[in-house]
Structure 1
Amino acid sequence: MVHSDADTLDAIFAALSDATRRSVLERLGEGQDLTVSELARPHGMSLTGFMKHLRVLENAGLVSRTKEGRIVRCALSPEPMQEAAMWLSRCEKF
């Protein structure tokens, strides 16, 4: 049986493996919630393509979405990143 901690770390590191997704996290890390359109605009891809990236971030727990009428806002969820940082810190000795 696979441990849920390992699954969580796999999802986090998979999400971080893509430059587009890292860019989204950096923008959200600046401290304000942004709409999906605001996040997608600098990447020059279709909204459908961008939503796939956003879904990976959500599945890893790194981003949360809230809907306000027709507008969907995204926010950074830092807890999973802290878990990954703790795992990496245990590997510093290597």
Structure 2
Amino acid sequence: MLKKTDEKRDVFVAIADPTRRQLIRILADSKELPLHELTPHFQMGRTAVSKHLMILREADIVRHRKSGRESKYRLNPEPLQEVKDWLSFYEKFWKERAAILKNILEE
């Protein structure tokens, strides 16, 4: 876990792992889930899933709250805006390149 003096984890690093991307997708489809409901989606134990959730929490992509003895996790999509903004530049880049290629092919 990051210390208070450390910066939060980079969003791109947090989403680099396929397991964490799948966790994001699962949480996007539900309001809030406890660890024991997330774990069956993966071929790994609760401890490993919990470690992936911690990385997502450190990037503020996932939030949690205590409910009795368990933690419930939910998606916080706001940090993903940084990824969307970064990708939108390249979407524009490829659309422009596709238009140039189309013009060349039509000539």
**Same fold per superposition (TM over 0.5):** yes
RMSD of Structure 2 on Structure 1 (CA): 1.9
Bigger relative contact order (CA 8 A; separation at least 6):
1
1:1-94 to 2 correspondence within 5 Å? 11-92=10-91, 93=93
- Give 5+ residue unaligned stretches, structure 2: 1-6, 95-107
Alpha-carbon distance in 2 for matches of 1:78, 1:68 = 22
- Give 5+ residue unaligned stretches, structure 1: 1-6
When Rg is computed on C-alpha atoms for both structures, the one with the higher figure is 2
Paired positions, count = 87
SS of 1:44 mapped into structure 2:
coil
Instruction: Output the TM-score relative to the length of structure 2.
Output: 0.72
- Aligned residues with identical type, % of pairs: 36
SS of 2:71 mapped into structure 1:
strand
Q: Which runs of 4+ in 1 moved over 4 A?
A: none
Alpha-carbon distance in 1 for matches of 2:48, 2:27 = 19
Instruction: Determine the structure 2 residue equivalent to 1:3.
Output: none
Instruction: Output the TM-score relative to the length of structure 1.
Output: 0.81
SS of 1:72 mapped into structure 2:
strand
